[in-house]
Every structure is written in structure tokens, then in C-alpha cells.
Structure 1
């Protein structure tokens, strides 16, 4: 490994990794998986810095209305996208690249309900915008929240590795692709600003973004394994309605039949290859738009030097913290006796509840946080729940008398996810 790292370090300035068709580009795609992640991050994936803006009020103001995502009437995909957090950002940011050079990107006017209440953005509302962006993509619509219309750009897929989202192949209009591109820009900015988004995106998507060579096995393993039976069935591939399961199959099949390479091959084999092409390239327009946006803010050279797991970790962080990461993320300023009860209570919670505590305290759902959470005593009655200020990532807690009381009150507090910020 050390020898490979020395060779790659010497050759790196002379290589264009974005040219995946060249021998050098192909070599990078292979060797980047051999070297250590620390080596890639230190020498290959050079992330451009962003300007840290202390005076938030000097930034452009962006309004996000979370309640716009809720309606009792049906919405078309276009209407749902227009009302989404991503759609609201798209209307106000457009193609202005200057937004992505700063952190924070903007001053937030966040309205959770139509009450007219707008909390002052000292950091919490801004962080919550990104949590809400994640939520609109990862929430399974009205089944989870009555009247909720999720972002229609993505659909859920389930395979042996879990449940993920992938781009909906029907969302390929110029309007849709512009939003995919903006999402890519945001993802690149998050890497630069060292902030994470709570997405569970299929590995197939990450592999495309970093330029890995994708095969039909990647699609079947990472997206829709049930389609294996379809492409393995010659009769099914010869059926007239095959395009309903394999969009653009006929287009790929006709193109292959007219090529010199496949003209003399058995029809059954050509259909199999066409089916594989149809699956592997079924999301190309959407994934291409996301990747283009990511390249704009992060740079193609940086992205291409990542493995797909690097990209996933940098954009999305870890789904839930472990115990050591939780402890590293919280500074407890309670008196020793109460600090012991606080940590004992936290240890009874699940990793999912630790993530909910992050959101309650800092408006961020995933590790790592942009700042540590500070826990301090409050003078409130023990009848009250803990109180959080997400702008400053602080939590004040009454002096409960038992571990059970701490556990009960913390659980009550972290369950209040959709309340308006103070």
C-alpha cells in the first residue's frame, strides 16, 4: 500500500482523473481503492475552503415555509416539487454560485407553520433547513405525516442492504434536472462546510457520482434485485410490454441490433445486453445533473479521487452516533451527581434517540455536528422538560432527582420534532 501511495502521489499532478476513458483515469479509479482513506483525504481529495461569515444579517435572506409541504388535496409532481424545500431554495438561489462560497450560505427566515412566527436565525434555523431538506426526501409521504407531500425527485428502493432512495427515472424534465443539479451543488457545499445531510442514498448513486464503472450487478444489488428474474428470462425480454419494467429497453435493443458488434449475435444475447444497458443507464440524466452540480462546488478532480464510501460519508455523515461519538459531541456542565444521572439516562437511549437528541439540541440529525452541544443546569421546576437553543447548541435541564426522571424528560423533549423554534 505504501508503494502504491508513493507512486500515486508522484503521478497525481500529471493525471486528469476526470478523464475516466484514459488509462491514467482508469488506473486512478482502481488505485484510489487501494490507498488509505487518510491518504486520499490528505493528498488527493483537496476540498476547497469556504468563507466563514460571522455577520449572518449581511447575507442574502432566504425564506423557507415548511408548512407549504402540507395540503389535504392531491398535488402533481411539479406542484410538489415547487412547494418543497428544494423548490423554494431553487426559486431564490437560482444559478447564483456566490451562495456556495460562504458558510452559512444565507440568512434564514424559517416558518414551520402559517402562524407568522419567524425565529431569529443565529444558526439553528439555518441548520434546520438542511434537516428539513433531508426529511422531505427521506419521509414516506402522507403515510408518515398526514397531508405531507414529499419531494418527488426520489423514490424508495429496498434490497438486502436496507432501504434507500434513488432518483425517480420519470423525473427527467429540464425543470426536474435543474433541481437535481441544485441538490448536487448543495451536497458539494456541505462537504466544504463540513456539514452533513441525513440522506440514505443507494450506493449505486454514489458509485456513479465518483465515476466508478457501473455494471448490471451494481444495479441489481443496490437498486432493484427483483429485476434479476426479468433479465434472466428470455421470454420476458421478448414480450411486447418489456419496456414497462425496463424503460428504454427497446431503444437500447434497436441500437445494438444495428451495430456491427452485435449484428451477428443471437437475438437472445442481444436482448440480455440491451436489458443490462437499460438498467445501468436508467437514471443517467438525473445522476448526471447531480454530479454536475457536485463538480461545480467541489471540483471534479476532488470528487473523482473519492471512493463511493468516501463521498457518502462526507456528504451524509453517519446515520447514528455510537456511544463514544455521542460523548465527544456533548459537553456536560451539570454538577457531578446530576452529570452522572444525565449520562446514565443517555446510555439507556437507542442510537436513533441519540440522533433525535442531536436534532433537538442542534437541529442536526447526524454525526459529526458543526459544534458541540453544551448541557447546563436550569432553574426550572422538575415538572418542566429540558429546553434547547438550536442556534447555540445548548440544552438546559432541571435538576431531576433520578435517572428515570432524566430518561423520561429527555425522551419527551426529543419527541417534539416539529415544534416551532423559539
Structure 2
């Protein structure tokens, strides 16, 4: 009998031997992670890392949150429903009620809740489909440097050329316009959109919807101005164009309030949520929309795993734990000042960065004006025990996305590692 030797579980070689070349994050973080708690991770060799990545925004409340973990373990221990499609379950009913009572009602939001499938891109797909179904129009307006997901509909409204080319077919029925401050020449992109809608020679038909991120995360931490977003919302309302806000990464408190659009004073027609909505890193997504838009036929948009009941359990617990009051929002805004001030000092003290700082809440970016420098900084940071990624079309931005619940010691230690890494990387390019 032939004995097949098992590869050591701590060997990173197993991934290159058996996993597709499509893998990406492991190339930036070349180790085998084994444990995680709060804002820290440990690899199989016991090396400790501070996490400024937070599962790309899926772990706003940190790794293995004790309160959420207890609710999950108790639910599994009593043989609670795990898989339920869109059948009625106690876990789902409780989530819906708590989401209404804690999130929607206090904000005077009257959204219907749809479970489109457990990923952010599925939430976006359902939003695009619904907008087209309701309006009878096909065109969607999106913006430069937008990122909305990796499936075909989501890619059609995504700006990144590298990601778009993975579709393998033309991406149609979408028009991309300049995001706020895309050009430093002062181009008024809202006036441009209005003019194109009025001009019969512009080639732009009345769209079904406009989809926008209030802060573009993957696009490089680009922050839209309050006035710009308000004018966009007003234009959509006046022209009977549906406004979709993609809050997949910037929702669930990332910018301070639960929804990123709250501080802007707009009410979208459709909202996409995922990532941290389960609270525990479990797959889950929501599509929220005004009741009059609920034109779906039963089963017209479905999916086998849209009823992820363990995610309902931890999501409910997260809402109860963090969103009954504004304490977490206040902590996030306090941390924002710490992060912004630190990054501004870095830019001033390390002129070789040619850096610029931008962000909102606890989504911040350090743009490096030297090609390749941001990637060098994140690589040096990983060597020093900090998990942090880049974003932007050319990976030119160091992206800070720490858990909202990170304690002061971990936050300051992570920032110190980032500063040391930036100094080391800057010396390499001088």
C-alpha cells in the first residue's frame, strides 16, 4: 500500500503547489496565519502581527470578538439552523427585527431588506438588476476609480482596468464619469453629468441608476465632498434616476456613523452592504431599497447561501453590542484624529515620500508620489509585524483599515511600525 506523505501544515509551499495562480493576498503576506484575536494575528511559527487590514473591512469589530463568538458557539451548540436558503428561521427573524429597531428606525430609514447572496458583489448585482427592472432603462453611471466587485455586472461599473480585463468580454451598459476631485483642474463632474443628460448629442441616455461610493476604498481612499454628494443626490432625484450607494466597505461604522452617507445628509434609493454586516467575518450581504422599488417576483434573484444563519446570529449580536448608542462612532472619530495627525507628521518628516493624506473615519490612505514606493512600504511593514495593504489603480496608496475596536496601544504600535517602514523604504528609492 502506497503511503502518501502529508505536507507540513506550516509550509507555505502547499499553496503554490495546489492553489490557483489567482491567489493574491498571500503574495503580499507570505506566511501561514494560524490564530487571531482583536487586532492581532499570529502565524504558524508564532510570529505576531498587528492588523491594519481587518479582512479588507470585513472585521470592523476585530478577530474572534468574545461576545459575538459566544453567541455563535451557543447557537451551534443547540443545533440551530445553519443553512436555510430564504426560509423563515428564528435567527433571520431576530436579525431583521433588530436591524429595523437599532439601525433603520432611529435613522428614519424605511428600507426593505433583501438577502441577495453572501458577498458584496452579489449585493451590487442585485441592486443593478433591480434598478433596471424598475426603471426599464439599461445604462448605469459609475465613476472613475470605483470598485464594486468582480462579477460581470459589478465589473462593468468598476474603474480598475486590470480587474476589468479579467471579464474576458466587453463590459457594456455602463458609463464612467469623473469622481469628485478626479482632476485637479476643478472639473465640475456633477455639472458635466447634468449637461450630458440635457445634450442630445452626448451619447448618454437617461440612466437607470448612478452607483457611487462616498469614500472609494479600493480606488485609493478617495473621499467625495459633502456638497458633491448632495448635488449628485439632488440631480438623481430631479431626473428620476435611482441613486445606489455602495457601502460594502465603508458601511457598518467604518467612517464613523453606521452608514457612510449619514454625515452627508442624503438618503439613497438603494444601499449595498456586506463585509462587516455579520460582525464576525462570516459571509453575509444585504441590499436595502425603498419599499416602492420592491418589484421582485419570488425567486427572481436568489442564491443557495443567502440564508447564512450563523451570520444572522453574529450580525444581530454586533448590532446590539455596538449600535444601541454612539459610543463606537465617537471612538472611531477620535481614532481618526490620531491616524490623520500621525500620517500628516509622516509626510512632513519624510519628504522623500512625496506623500498626501486623505480619508474619513478609520479609512485612511497615504498616497506616495514615487512609483512602487507604497508597495515597498507595505512589504517592509509586513517584515516588521504589520499587516497592511495598498490600494489605488497603481497600488500607490498605503491603505489603513484597522479594526474599529483596536485599542490605543495596538493603534500606536502599528503606526510606529508604519513610520519605520516608510523611512526604510524611502531610503531605498532615494
Normalising by structure 2, we get a TM-score of: 0.27
Which structure is richer in relative contact order (CA contacts within 8 A, separation 6 or more)?
Answer: 2
TM-score, normalization: structure 1? Answer: 0.27
Structure with max Cα Rg: 1
Greater per-residue strand proportion: 2
